[in-house]
Amino acid sequence: MKWWQHNRNHYYHQHHYNHNSNSSGNSNSASGGGGGGGRVVAAGFVFCLVCFVINGLIAVLYGWLILTPPVSLNERKGLPWLGCQEDNEGSWAIGVFFGQSPFSLKPIETTEMWRNESAAWPVANPVITCASASDSGFPSNFVADPFLYVQGDVFYLFYETKNSFTMQGDIGVAKSIDKGATWQQLGIALDEEWHLSYPYVFNYLGQVYLMPESSQKGELHLYRVTNFPLKWELDRVIMKKPLIDSFIIDHNGEYWLFGSEHSSFGTTNGRLEIWYSSSPLGPWKPHKKNPIYNTYRSFGARNGGRPFRYNGNLYRIGQDCGETYGRRVRIFKVEVLSRVDYKEVEVPFPFEESSKGRNAWNGARYHHLDVQQLKSGEWVGVMDGDRVPSGDSVHRFLLGCASVAAVSGLILFLGVLLGAVNCIIPLNWCADYSGKRSDTLIAWERANVFSSKLRRVFSRLNRVPSFLRSWIKPNTFAGRSVLTLIFALGVALSCTGVTFIYGGSGAEEPYSWKGQFSQFTLLTMTYDARLWNLKMFVNHYSRCASVKEILVVWNKGIPPKVSDLNSAVPVRIRVEDLNSLNNRFKVDPLIKTRAVLELDDDIMMPCDDVERGFMLWRQHPDRIVGFYPRYVDGSRLEYSGEKYARKNKGYNMILTGAAFMDSQVAFERYWSEQAKPGREVVDKYFNCEDVLMNFLYANASSSKTVEYVRPAWAIDTSKLSSAAISRDTNVHYKIRSECLRKFSDMYGSMRGRRWEFDSRKDRWDV
């Protein structure tokens, strides 16, 4: 007898028995189903519900312990309701770039521009974010489409800001008097009842005009300023067409209007049309070749900013929307522009895209550029960027729902194998169901062929459980292994679903301080026996948002090639002549930032923890800010681990194996004549360089010199290797205790210096 025939007979016998028992025991049962079938369904439902709850609890615990919740810049300031909410259109921000030509633009951080002369950190992109507008009282989810208007040495920036309440675009304006290093948010320049974006601002006969996109209104509007830069009035309707991303350019004695018509379904991002006129105020006549383009969205037909002239040539900026909306900008050289013809060719745009992925503010896309030449001859550009592709939040939600659906299927499968689920489809839906059913329903099914076939399919599906149990026996080792695997897979999918739905975009964003971002140099010291550590170290930390460069201090052996390291930022290897721990703090004029993160190559922690430490250091650049606290009792002078500091509810040292410091101040202090005896102790014991740095800081100030940041997690990979000076803890602590005694004699006691945990408002020091 075939397996399905055996299972079918068993299935018939079982359910005939259930039906007969139910009929005799409960004559009032519903005609559509039997009590036995109901109990089968109820038992299976309860089992599935319990399993689903268990998986859910595990997923919630995972989210609580592991996931870093998505935090907007305003939530970090205690204002979760004021803008910067997750938006399906993205999280666009705006950066400033400089170059000697429009084809050599570099981000503002490469110019080492400082907020002021006393600042300890240079400015880095992005310079305007949703938080910039929100903190000024204009709640915004993102800022995009920047256009510059330069008056002398003053920059005015007009941009789209998506209102967090109305969920439509308004036109914001900001002002900078220091070449884009800092920006004052002036307010909303234009707010209509419809969506506005792409605020193309230009001058004509001494009058300033603004031509934003207003395709939602179905018209292209031109506004004239009445009180620059915040008061505007409608001058005229240029065209009764829903044009998007339009600009006007003066060329060969005529004015040309470029735009894409939004009403052409499915071709907007691949469409370009041109009109011409003797005045930017119109009237406008269509180009003979319209539409100029009606092609693939990756072609760059849709405008992506202000056109510019360079070396006598006219260039148009277009958007490549192939992979996602606004993936990148493309530059086209206009060769022919007349009433009867138009030709352009693409030219290379050597813009260096970040390799940091979502941790970079423009890691996923950049779709708008306005570049202009200043009186000095230098070129300045403003560009928007986004760390996530278009529709990312919806995509993640759908993947999360798919994970939850897969968990449900696994739970059902588990119930089938354990015998808790005996039928997949309710019995009264099956062709071989013999319970009571209405005559009307039976007559309808006989007349409906599809219904009969569907009921036969349901019957076959209900034979699957008995077949699976005969194939995978839960009471065998193989069966238990399968059950364990199914349960583990269900837990993994539950955690995956929680990550997709509640875990945010996956970006570990930098933290702004006083509305600005900056960068630091990551410095690590290593040698040939720890090369595998270094490769993992560089691969991970080079993706952190604020890392500008990685400096590897190579103490011993043959150094690797830079090309051997998978890095998203430049790596410099400084080979030392002498194997000394003092090399860690050697004065290095090639370091381009004041902030340096000294980090041992065997410590792995999340980029978010690194970013939190950097933000705290910018608040206190005169202190050592790090992740491993220690407490030195001035009378005891015995080195102990973090547990001793916790026991004494305070700390007065931060290990510089994971700490931020001012490279100029700290390194010069370490290599001063006063520190020479201490450096000799470090060389003698090949240890204690971090202890010495703490004593030098304490000796230089009577106020607080250290700050602690508790990492979410940290892994010490030295435990996996024998190449570590601290692998023998007892010997290591004994040497460091001797260092404490010597440094106390040289530089004074630590007595009276203790700072409590959980003393700051940010609660990062608990």
Active site amino acids: 690
Percent helix, strand and coil across the chain, each rounded to 5? 35, 25, 40
**What are the contacts of 80-83 at 24+ separation with CB within 8 A?**
82/134, 82/135, 82/139, 82/164, 83/130, 83/131, 83/133, 83/134, 83/138, 83/139, 83/140, 83/141, 83/164
Burial readout 581-619 (b: 16 or more C-beta within 10 A, e: otherwise) = bbbbbeebeebbbbbbbbbbbbbbbbbbbbbbbbbbbbe
Helix (H) or strand (E) holding 134: helix 130-135
Q: For residues 214 and 192, is the Cβ–Cβ distance under 8 A?
A: yes
Q: Over the Cα atoms of the chain, what is R_g?
A: 34
Calculate helix-pair angle for 3-25, 35-65, nearest 10 degrees.
110
Handedness of CA 76, 78, 79, 85 (dihedral sign): positive
The closest alpha carbon to 174, from 162, 164, 187, belongs to: 187
Q: For residues 645 and 545, is the Cβ–Cβ distance under 8 A?
A: no
Strand order across the beta sheet in which 547-554 lies: 571-575, 547-554, 520-526, 595-599, 658-662, 624-626, 706-708
The closest alpha carbon to 180, from 199, 201, 159, 155, belongs to: 155
Q: For residues 397 and 501, is the Cβ–Cβ distance under 8 A?
A: yes
What are 460's two structure tokens?
Answer: 């076959």
Q: For residues 550 and 522, is the Cβ–Cβ distance under 8 A?
A: yes
Alpha-helical regions (H) of 687-728: 689-700
Give the separation between CA 221 and CA 239, rounded to whole angstroms: 7
The closest alpha carbon to 677, from 659, 653, 646, 699, belongs to: 699
